[in-house]
Copies of this chain bind each other. A is one copy, B any other.
Amino acid sequence: MRLVIIGGDAAGMSAASQARRVDRGCEVVVLEQTEDVSYGACGLPYKLPDGNDMEDLKIISAERFRRERGIDLRLGHRVERIDPGARRVSGTGAVGPFEEPYDRLLVATGARIARPPIPGLEQLWGDGAYGLKTLEDGRVLKRALARRPRSAVVVGGGYIGLEATDNLREQGLEVTVVEALPHVLPFLPSELRDKIYAEAESRGVKVVLGTAVERVERAGGGLRLQTGAGELEADLVLVATGVRPCSELAAEAGIALGAAGSIAVNEQLETSVPGIYSAGDCADARHALTGRSVWIPLALRANRAGKLAGGNMLGRRDPAPPVLGTAVFKFFDQQVGRTGLTEDEAREEGHDPVAGAINASTRAKYYGGGGKLGVWLLADRKTHRLLGGAMVGPEGAAHRIDTVAACLHAGLTVEELYAMDLGYAPPFGPSWSPLLTCASQLSKKLG
């Protein structure tokens, strides 16, 4: 059995490793277009400040994959065509064109930065304007920071933009975040978003909302950005307006696409073409609450789907579990967590959603320290079933959100959450967990 895997990042290498664990006799060829495999992409923002090394993000070296796991890993191999009829992929590598036959194929091509069509951006890319998706992106941006820019504009107020803001500020830059939508982090309810704005302000970060960047160009020693709200000057621009699935290769081979142009897979992670699987940021997933195809590119999902695909390509029939989009991140001293549906998404699904929100102490008041944890829960008015949750606070949010995720997976109601026996000690929360307090408030609203 010869497996070929396109892409050597989280999903691809998880699949390759798992396939070799399941069957030591199978041949596994990984074709990776860059020179990097298996690195912690989620850590990129944290390696920007001085004293951190981008190369520390490498988890397992190519050499170790080859030697210890028996994986035929080929770097600098760019696949340009999938031929499902001939069960063959072809492309160009460092040593020229190549062709590889396969018995089973995994498309793990990931996602890439969606560069917005801002006039002037293209010319500055890599020299004034940057993205932060791949390890190489990280190296390029870090070299730019070594030239000691004093200011940055971050275009896009999603979590990558905000994580980068945190770390650029740590590096000493003046940072302005420009978001075209009326708000950063559109998945957060307004009560919790206000905490993000307050944190930004207390850190001297300017946030410009509802404002598109219309043009960027060199001016003096730096850059000038024309926006809907006037001109901004900065030494560099970081574009964090989101990513798109790398699904063109699959689409050209006749593989059906799903949500947001990602590669559609069934429960076993097989695409519409038998024998071709897909996993990671290029593929879709099923939402645990709606059953619909969704595209939510997050690390756990990529690792998990890769691992499952590695076994399924060898004949296993392990289903990929559905997702909730549970995500956490840090913005300076605030932890942010979210899971499940937003109010708008719930409404689109035909729910009559009711939200509750509270603000609770992160510790027993007399204990000292800590701060306020904002908790938001969403439920269906008729069934009282929980639909989503979010939290922002200086402690507790990043781990407490998993309790909401567990409730969503289990299909519990607000009242079932409220009845739970959750932990308490003065250093870690009030005796009524903030989650219980929020559930109580929401339960009263539901009547």
Question: Measuring CB to CB, which residues of chain A are less than 8 angstroms from any residue of chain B?
Answer: 10, 40, 42-43, 46-47, 56-57, 59, 288, 298-301, 303-304, 321-330, 335, 337, 339, 364, 366-367, 396, 398-403, 405-407, 409-410, 412, 416-417, 419-429, 431-433, 435-436
Contacts and interface: CB of A to CB of B under 8 A. Distances in A.
The 7 closest A-B pairs by CB, nearest first: A321-B419, A410-B410, A328-B423, A399-B399, A406-B406, A398-B428, A324-B421
Given A303-B432, A425-B328, A46 B409 contact: no
Contacts of A367: 43, 46
Nearest to A411: B410
A299 B402 contact: no
B421 A46 contact: no
Contact of A396 (B10, B298, B399): B399
A167 B172 CA distance: 39
Contacts of A399: 396, 399-400, 403, 423, 428-429
Contacts of A57: 366
A335 B395 CA distance: 14
Residue among A303, A426, A435 with the highest chain B CB neighbour number at 10 A: A426
Contacts of A321: 419-421
A435 B435 CA distance: 20
A360 to B, nearest CB: 13
A326 B402 contact: no
Contacts of A324: 421
Given A301-B421, A366-B56, A433-B402, A42 B426 contact: yes
Nearest to A406: B406
A215 B152 CA distance: 70
B421 A398 contact: no
Contact of A421 (B56, B405, B421, B433): B405
A264 to B, nearest CB: 19
